[in-house]
């Protein structure tokens, strides 16, 4: 496994310096094309767009996975399965005033849960969007969960070992997703907030479309990739940003902050996943 250090273009080739993680050795690789799939903090994108800044969403996610393989008959698990009877078949989104949470079952008897909490932008940022938390922070989160969520969900949160915080960022859509022989895919091309469970799908589609464009081996393959993908991902990122702000009860210029306790039918309609642009691709 390699960790990319830097890249440059010389005589039409991409030259990268990369560290072989097993040995620590730095090696040089020369290629025709560099596909930057190095996540929302992409150091390759930073090289081409040094002024680029991620936009902090205004909230973070408490995350964690509860392995229930050895506590299947416990009160916590029977309780959560009773309260959320379709676990294993769907994702549950719970809405409360100014916050929302997500709960779903993973393979091998695991529960994945996320709780989005509005808070100021963290000071230590730039190299990671996740952070370890202190036991004091965890305790406060558990106490808050008991006030906001039903007891069954609060209990799952309490029993999840090693929860961590994920600061949620996105960015305004980029104008270009390729430079020289370097092309961006996935979160490197379109950092996005995670509210329409489809960012992985966006990354896979980027790779698929890029592959098809390369296959034709025409000089304009990168323009074609950008022409197909950029309008789609740009609209999706902005829709997902809006959905996140609505679910977190945050201010938007064209509507009142959403509160599930007083929401009208049309407010709820706006939350539907199928409103995501290009939902069917």
Ligand X SMILES: Cc1cc2nc3c(=O)[nH]c(=O)nc-3n(C[C@H](O)[C@H](O)[C@H](O)COP(=O)(O)OP(=O)(O)OC[C@H]3O[C@@H](n4cnc5c(N)ncnc54)[C@H](O)[C@@H]3O)c2cc1C
* Residue 200 contacts ligand X per CB under 6 A: yes
Q: Which of 100, 113, 198, 239 binds ligand X (CB under 6 A)?
A: 198
Is 271:86 a contact under the CB 8 Å cutoff? no
* Residue 170 contacts ligand X per CB under 6 A: no
Count of residues that interact with ligand X, criterion CB under 6 A? 20
Stretch that binds ligand X, among 151-159, 195-203, 221-229, 236-244 (CB under 6 A): 195-203
* Residue 38 contacts ligand X per CB under 6 A: yes
* Residue 99 contacts ligand X per CB under 6 A: no
Smaller CB separation from ligand X, 5 or 216: 5
Stretch that binds ligand X, among 192-200, 208-216, 238-246, 252-260 (CB under 6 A): 192-200
Cross-strand pairs, 179: 182
Stretch that binds ligand X, among 27-35, 72-80, 184-192, 220-228 (CB under 6 A): 184-192
Q: How far is the CB of 227 from ligand X (least distance, A)?
A: 20
* Strand-strand pairing, 55-67 and 164-170: antiparallel
Q: How far is the CB of 18 from ligand X (least distance, A)?
A: 7
* Residue 64 contacts ligand X per CB under 6 A: no
Q: Which of 37, 141, 177, 230 binds ligand X (CB under 6 A)?
A: 37
List Cα–Cα distances, 169 to 40, 61, 126, in angstroms.
Answer: 8, 11, 11
49-71 as b/e: b if 16+ CB within 10 A: beeeebebbbbbbbbbebebeee
Q: How far is the CB of 220 from ligand X (least distance, A)?
A: 24
Q: How far is the CB of 253 from ligand X (least distance, A)?
A: 25
Please tell me the total number of residues recorded for the chain in this structure.
281
CA angle 262-89-232, nearest 5°?
70
Between the two ends of the chain, the Cα-to-Cα distance in Å is 32
Q: Is 82 left (phi over 0), alpha (psi -120 to 50) or beta?
A: alpha
Is 199:93 a contact under the CB 8 Å cutoff? no
Q: Give the number of C-alpha atoms closer than 13 A to the C-alpha of residue 36, restricted to the C-beta side.
A: 30
| Cα radius of gyration rounded to whole Å, the chain | 21
* Residue 186 contacts ligand X per CB under 6 A: yes
Q: How far is the CB of 254 from ligand X (least distance, A)?
A: 26
Q: Residues interacting with ligand X, by CB under 6 A?
A: 3-4, 37-39, 43, 61, 63, 114, 166, 186-188, 194, 197-201, 203
């Amino acid at each position: 496994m390699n960790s990319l250090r830097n890249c440059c273009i010389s005589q039409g080739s991409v030259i990268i310096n990369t560290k072989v993680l097993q040995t620590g050795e730095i090696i040089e690789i020369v290629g025709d094309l560099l596909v930057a799939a190095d996540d929302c903090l992409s150091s390759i994108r930073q090289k081409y767009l040094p002024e680029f800044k991620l936009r902090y969403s205004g909230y973070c996610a408490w995350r964690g996975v509860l392995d229930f393989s050895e506590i299947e008959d416990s009160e916590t698990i029977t309780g959560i399965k009773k309260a959320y009877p379709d676990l294993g078949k769907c994702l549950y989104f719970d809405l409360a005033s100014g916050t929302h949470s997500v709960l779903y079952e993973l393979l091998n008897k695991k529960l994945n849960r996320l709780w989005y909490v509005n808070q100021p932008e963290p000071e230590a940022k730039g190299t990671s969007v996740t952070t370890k938390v202190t036991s004091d922070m965890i305790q406060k989160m558990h106490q808050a969960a008991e006030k906001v969520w039903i007891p069954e969900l609060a209990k799952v949160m309490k029993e999840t070992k090693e929860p961590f915080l994920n600061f949620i960022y996105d960015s305004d859509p980029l104008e270009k997703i390729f430079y020289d022989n370097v092309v961006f895919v996935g979160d490197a091309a379109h950092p996005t907030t995670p509210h329409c469970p489809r960012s992985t799908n966006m990354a896979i589609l980027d790779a698929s479309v890029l592959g098809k464009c390369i296959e034709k081996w025409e000089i304009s393959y990168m323009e074609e990739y950008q022409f197909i993908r950029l309008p789609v991902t740009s609209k999706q990122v902005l829709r997902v940003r809006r959905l996140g702000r609505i679910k977190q009860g945050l201010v938007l210029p064209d509507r009142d902050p959403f509160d599930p306790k007083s929401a009208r039918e049309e407010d709820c309609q706006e939350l539907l996943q199928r409103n995501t642009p290009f939902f069917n691709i």
